[in-house]
Every structure is written in C-alpha cells, then in structure tokens.
Chains A and B, each alone.
Chain A
Amino acid sequence: MSYADIIQILDSSIRLGTPLLLACLAGLYSERSGVFDIGLEGKMLVAAFFSAAVAAITGSVWIGLLAGVAASVVFAMIHGLASITFRGDQLISGVAINFLAAGMTVLIAQDWFSQGSRTPSLSGDARFSSIDLPFADALSGVPILGPLYSEALSGHTILVYVALLAVPATWYVLFRTRFGLRLRAVGENPGAVDTAGISVTRLRYSAVLICGILCGLAGAYLSTGLAAGFTKDMTAGRGFIALAALIFAKWRPWYALFACLLFGLLQAISNRYSTLDLGIFEIPNAFVLALPYILTVVILAGFVGRAIPPRAGGEPYVKER
C-alpha cells in the first residue's frame, strides 16, 4: 500500500464519515435533551430524496438542500409530537419514522419521476461541487503533509466543512452557552429544569428541531454531494452507524468526530478492498463492514469504557404530583 493509497483512503474516509458525523451530531442534540432517536436513518433518507428531487426539478442544489432539510424537520417534528407532546415510546416512534421514510420516498419518487424509485441523475448546479481550500495547490509539494492537506482535506464539498465545523460549534454550544446548560440539564433531570421555570417541552422541541436540521444536511450530502441523485434505501444503515458512533463517542462532540472518521475509514477500506490481506490471514470484507456494529456492542457491553447515556433519556417527562 503506497502513501498515495493511504491519502486516497483518508480522502474517502472524510467523504464517507461526513454523513455519519452530521447524523451523529444530530442524534447528540436530541439524546442530550433526553429524546432517544433511532429514526436518524429515516430522516436522512427523506432528506436525501427531497434534496435530490428538488435539485433535479429546480436545477439548484441550494433549493434542494432547503427542501431536504425541511422534509427532515417535518419528520423530526413527528418524532417530537409522539415523544414529547403525547409521551409515546421514543423507540417505537423512531422505528415508525424509518419505515415512513423508506415507503414515502419510493412512493413519491415513483410518482414524480417514474424512474423506478430513483431521481434523475444530478449534474452541474444541481450538485454540490468541491471546494479547494486556500493554498491547496501551493502546499501539495510539501512532503507527507502536503498531499494530506491538498488531496485528503481539501477538495470536498461545502457540507463536509460544515460538518467538521459543527463539531467545535456543538462543543461550544453545549458547554459554554445557556442553551447548552439547559439542554444537558433537561436530559439529566427534566424536573430540575421545570422547577427552574424553563419549559421542558420547548427545550426538547428545539433539540429535536436541531436534530432534524442536521439530519437534513446529512441526507442532502448523501444524494447531492456523495452521490449524484437518490436511489432507493440509499442511506443503507448509515443512520444506525451514526447512532453507533454516538454511543461510541459517549455523547460527546469531539469523540463523535473521531468515531465517525473511524467508521468512515472502515467503510472506505471495505469499498476499496474486497478482502483485507494481513499476510497471516485474510479479513473478509463483510467483517470490516460489520466492524462498527461489533465495536459498538463491545462498548455497550462496557468491557472498554462504559457508555452511560443521559439519565433521563427515553423517558417522557411527566410532572410529579
């Protein structure tokens, strides 16, 4: 494996890690507020469809992006309605959202485009184009670090950089602002927030809203950045890998970045090599693909650093008498 190969793998790790990261941060906001979300997959999927579909129709990726985010937010609000307003089961609501997205996207795709549940291929302004970071060309000659910067880090679409910037932003919001303090509090002890005169409902809805927006970006990136159009079930379990990454990251933003890049790397490796020959034995591709799930189970089992979710997570808030 040459250095150029490594650079290429890192480049695709970042590309493949981006939708994971956006969805993972989405889940982070929601779950930190005490609303579990196994519907990340569905929200990504519906956003992927609407951004590709609207981009195809209007020819503008930006309008597509807005449509995708809006669709994801609508689904997020359904989840909010079920889990916050009607105090339903958050896990079941998430399951429903995933199915709703899987069915609706195919239904509408067929109705709008009649191309076998896909959107037309996107090109030109209907896709996100890559951005070269400053000095990417100039620095490409620098040994080792040069290619790393100009080829792996530079040349991605805007959403990749948005995702990367969302990490420090999320950290700042969570730990340095009033909103973050309240958000963390409501996921740990909503009673404390309520008696302090803050609306638990409004706080949780805002978290779910942010979750919807970020899932929207993740989905839009999938169909208009990573791929050139929507295909049926194109999220392919990414929402669940993002969920796995969130647990892996113990609900912390910086850890989330590393977890998502790691899982992105695993995907990149499995895309590139059908088997991984380690000399002594071969690792089958299927194992590399399953590795994020296996790692998450190991983490959940608590053998390596226990993952403790927000204390009030999954419980609808009911005022005590």
Chain B
Amino acid sequence: MDKLPKWVDVALIPLINLALALIVSGFVVALIGEDPFNALSVMVRGAVGSTYGWGYTLFYATNFIFTGLAVAIAFHARLFNIGGEGQAQLGALGVALVCLALPWPHWIIALPFAILGGALFGAAWAAIPAYLQAKRGSHIVITTIMFNFIASALLVYLLVGILKVPGSMAPETARFPEGAHLPSARDVLAVIGIPFARTPLNVAFLVALVCAWGVWMLLWRSRLGYEIRAFGQSEPAARYAGISPLKITMITMLISGALAGLMAINAVMGEQQRLIQDNVLGAGFVGIAVALMGRSHPVGVLLAAILFGALYQGGAELEFETSVPREMVVVIQALVILFTGALDGMIRRPLESLFARRKRSTSGVPAE
C-alpha cells in the first residue's frame, strides 16, 4: 500500500534531509569558531554570485552528473557501484590515450573518439566486478572498492613508467595536442556576444546533459530500461519474464562504468589537458551522494549535481575567505549521504505514520 504521497517522497524528504545535513554542518562551522550564516553567504556568493562562480559550479557539476548517473543507473538494477572513482580513473586513461594518439586537427573530431575511449575504458573497469557478481555472486560493493585501489595502483605504475614524459620528474603525461582542447564556456559564449569569466567550464557540460537525457530515455522508454528496472525490483521475476540476470547485470554495469569514465571528458580533456595521478579527486564518491539525493532519477541527479557543484565551488571560496578549510564540503557531503541514504528511515517513518493518520481521519473507513 502506498504510504506516502509522491511529492513527499521525491521532494519533501530529500529537502528535509538536505536541511538536516546543512543544519548539522552549521553546527560544525560554529564549533570551529566561524559564523555559520556568514559561511553560508560566502559559499552562496562564491558559487552562484558571478559568472566566475557559475563557471566553476557547473564545471564541478558536470563531473558529478556523470558519476551521479553512473551510480543511479546501477541503483536501478539494485547494484551499488561504489567503483565510480576507479572507473573514472580508467576513463581518464582512455581519454588521454586517445588524445595523445594522434595530432588531432580539431576538437570536434577528437571529441567523439575521446568519448569512445573514456567510455570504453570506464566500462572495461566495471566489467570484471560485474561479471564476478553475475556469475560467481561476489559482492559487487567489495569488488568495486578493491578495483578502485587497483586502478590507482595501475595509474601510478603507468605514470611513473611508460606514460611519463622522458626526462620529466612529474608523474604525468605530455600535454594533449592543441586540436584536443575542448572550447570553454567563455569561448563559446563569446561567439554570441555574452561575456563569461575564464573558468574550466567547457562543452563537456553539454555532453553531460545529453547523457542525462539519454539515461532517462533508456530507463523509461526503452525495453532495456524496463528490463533493468524489473531486474532491480526482483531477480526471480526477471527470470520469469525472460530477462537474463547475467545480461542485465553486465550491461547495466558497463553503462555505469562508461558514464563514470566519461567524466574524464570534462576533467581531463576539458581542464587538466594531460593525465595526472589525482584526476578524479573524489568525484566518483560524490556520485553516490548525488544519486541518493536525486533519488536515482536523471532530473534529480542533475539538480543534485548542480547543488554539489555549488558546494564544491562555495567550499573553495570559503577556504579562501575564512578559516574554514574546503574539507567542510566533504563533511557536508558525508552528512548528505548519511541523512538521505542511511538515516532515511529517521524522517520517513514518522512522516509515514503522520500521513497514515491523516488518511484515516479523512477517509474514516477502515479497510476490510
């Protein structure tokens, strides 16, 4: 029986959880001797108060859209892909290899290949945990965690070895050729005469929006999406309907890994312009918070990603202007995951009984 109206489930509960996370964060800020309201206003101003702020906010948001969609689509198949971090690292490797492979004449030619490279490498890194889950029943949470560490070891190995620029001390690849540079928001907007600050925001943002739309089409308009959602609800039912658990687990994780890998289009190709060790910077994990907050719906993911983008950018400003380190954002992120993901029942159950009581008092007739 439906206990809660839809709007409570998709809007009210996430907002209450977010508010709780922010209130607790406010206490933390107060505890370290800063004014939480001032901190908030610094963050808001820093994140959305200028085109500079917006640029960074949306740049971060782009990363989180990719990783958030990656976690969200896996959630629909009841798979917890905690390996977005590693898959994004491998995606970065794929993008870097593509960008370095040829003297690309123009970004519009390089981009599709880079997308292919990032998606393919990210998907490949998700494939083994997916296969082990589907075939051998190995817990995908644990295997994807392990694969995060293996990925970073692999990257270290490559960056101090084969991929390093000869003679250089820094563990990083050469810079990508000019033709593999994605145009920034400033460049694009200048064409139509809108001034925009110099920020790393680039056309990858549009790729992310297309991906969000694609995931929505996939989940609610395609047979594959229907099968993914059915499988996520009940595996025996999936088998009953002729849906192969192996196939769905594999495909879902491959898509998930590919989406995580695509993050590199923004971070590596759009900003860093070379492959470095810490190219993901925890965005894979932020994806978990974003997917939880966005209730695994592409629109929700989009909104949550922008929120977290703003938090990241605001956090950077906070560190700049006050004594609060940017790790404050990690705390807020942790609290969001805690309240929306783990402590959901704390809010949901009282609300459920509240609405059950209201329903009874309005209808007045007991069922049966």
Contacts and interface: CB of A to CB of B under 8 A. Distances in A.
Chain A–chain B contact at Cβ < 8 A: yes
Contacts of A237: 149
Given A92-B337, A286-B154, A302-B138, A86 B344 contact: yes
A117 B31 CA distance: 17
B345 A86 contact: yes
The size bracket of the interface on B is 35 or more
Interface string B133-161: 00011110111011101100110110001
A255 interface: no
Interface in A90-106: 90-93, 95-100, 102-104, 106
Contacts of B333: 99, 103
B147 A297 contact: yes
Contacts, number: 148
A286 B154 CA distance: 7
Which secondary structure dominates where chain A touches chain B? Answer: helix
In the complex, which of the residues B129, B153, B349 has the most CB atoms of chain A within 10 Å of its own CB atom? B153
Nearest to B139: A300
Interface string A63-86: 000000000000000100111001
Interface stretch (A194-202, A221-229, A240-248): A240-248
Interface in B23-50: 28, 31-33
A302 B292 CA distance: 31
A296 B146 contact: yes
A107 interface: yes
B138 A103 contact: no
Contacts of B149: 237, 240, 290, 293
Interface string A42-75: 0000000000000000000000000000000000
A116 B285 CA distance: 24
6 smallest CB-CB distances across A and B, nearest first, come from A103-B330, A99-B334, A93-B342, A103-B331, A92-B341, A290-B153
Interface of A: 38, 78, 81-83, 86-93, 95-100, 102-104, 106-108, 110-111, 117, 237, 240, 243-244, 247, 284, 286-287, 289-290, 293-294, 296-297, 300-302, 309
Given A103-B329, A107-B331, A301-B132, 5 more contacts: A82-B342, A88-B344, A96-B335, A99-B331, A103-B334
18 contacts: A38-B145, A86-B343, A88-B341, A98-B334, A100-B331, A103-B328, A103-B329, A103-B334, A107-B324, A117-B327, A247-B142, A289-B153, A290-B154, A296-B146, A297-B143, A297-B146, A297-B147, A300-B138
